[in-house]
């Protein structure tokens, strides 16, 4: 397996997150890495994203400026790190490495990875039912807290009344608190959670 590039067929990245496209080989004596080129094929056209040669590292696509890098001091690691992923970053990325051998011949290998940038799966809030039927002595302090799972940001509202009836909005926080409970505070309360 002399100078074989290994990579991954497919990589999923989260929008605004970062992802690494693996491209590695085992350095072997008598071969020096001459050029590394990462290119992107999208909409039937191919363009060079990143190029490393004896003049240094070059990012050739402006959409990737300051967002892509390849490890510097790790021989055999040509993996591409893409940060702050955008939806248009999706596509087929090819890692091409060219080595020069002792007798000055060139060897080229490549490996292609498909990148799919996905938006975070949005989930609607689900409220966990709290204790039903709370008995608290008059004059005591207590609070009700609304807890829900789902994609943030989640906003909460507490109402007095029953869902579907005419209810009174008491709070736009997850917690509804009383310093000193009065008998008139007895009744039904419910919480609403909402996200985008």
Residues 88, 139 within the same domain: no
Residues 138, 93 within the same domain: no
Average pLDDT over residues 141-162: 87
Q: How many domains does the chain have?
A: 2
Residues 84, 5, 7, 62, Cα dihedral to 10°:
20
**Residue 148 lies in domain:** 126-195
Residues 24, 43 within the same domain: yes
How far is the C-alpha of 57 from the C-alpha of 71, rounded, in Å?
A: 11
Question: pLDDT: is 160 or 147 the higher one?
Answer: 160
- Lowest mean pLDDT of 8-22, 28-42, 44-58, 114-128, name the range: 114-128
Contacts of 131 (CB under 8 A, 6+ apart): none
- Tell me if 30 sits within 8 A of 102, measured CB to CB: yes
Residues 135, 53 within the same domain: no
Output the domain CATH number for residue 182: 2.60.40.10
Residues 62, 155 within the same domain: no
Neighbours of 28 (CB within 10 A): 12
Which residue in 81, 150, 164 sits closest to 115, CA to CA?
A: 81
Q: In the chain, which residue ranges form alpha helices assigned H by DSSP?
A: none
Q: pLDDT-derived band of residue 87, with 50, 70 and 90 as boundaries? A: very high
Q: What is the maximum span of the chain, computed from C-alpha positions, in angstroms?
A: 94
Residues 77, 95 within the same domain: yes
Residues 163, 80 within the same domain: no
Domain boundary (118, 145, 163) is at: 118
Which residue in 139, 137, 172 sits closest to 156, CA to CA?
A: 172
The predicted pLDDT at position 25 comes to 95
Residues 55, 143 within the same domain: no
Domain boundary (78, 95, 118) is at: 118
Mean pLDDT across the chain, nearest whole number? 90
State yes or no: pLDDT of 1 exceeds 50.
Answer: no
pTM of this prediction exceeds 0.75 = no
Residues 110, 130 within the same domain: no
Residues 38, 112 within the same domain: yes
Question: pLDDT: is 121 or 155 the higher one?
Answer: 155
Residues 132, 110 within the same domain: no
Residues 144, 108 within the same domain: no
Q: pLDDT-derived band of residue 130, with 50, 70 and 90 as boundaries? A: low
Average pLDDT over residues 91-108: 95
The predicted pLDDT at position 119 comes to 84
Domain boundary (87, 118, 149) is at: 118
The predicted pLDDT at position 150 comes to 79
């Amino acid at each position: 397996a002399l100078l074989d590039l290994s990579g991954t067929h497919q990589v999923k990245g989260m929008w605004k997150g970062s992802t690494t496209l693996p491209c590695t080989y085992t350095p072997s004596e008598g071969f020096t890495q001459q050029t590394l080129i990462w290119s992107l094929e999208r909409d039937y056209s191919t363009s060079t994203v990143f190029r490393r040669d004896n003049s240094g590292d070059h990012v050739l696509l402006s959409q990737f400026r300051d967002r892509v890098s390849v490890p510097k001091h790790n021989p055999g690691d040509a993996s591409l790190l893409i940060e702050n992923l955008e939806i248009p970053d999706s596509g087929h990325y090819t890692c091409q490495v060219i080595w020069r051998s002792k007798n000055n011949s060139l060897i080229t290998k490549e490996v292609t990875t498909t990148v799919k940038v996905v938006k975070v799966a949005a989930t609607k809030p689900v409220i966990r039912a709290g204790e039903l039927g709370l008995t608290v002595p008059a004059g005591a302090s207590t609070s009700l807290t609304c807890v829900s799972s789902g994609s943030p940001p989640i906003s909460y509202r507490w109402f007095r009344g029953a869902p579907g009836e005419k209810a009174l909005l008491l709070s736009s926080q997850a917690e509804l608190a009383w310093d000193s409970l009065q008998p008139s505070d007895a009744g039904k309360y419910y919480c609403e959670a909402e996200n985008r």
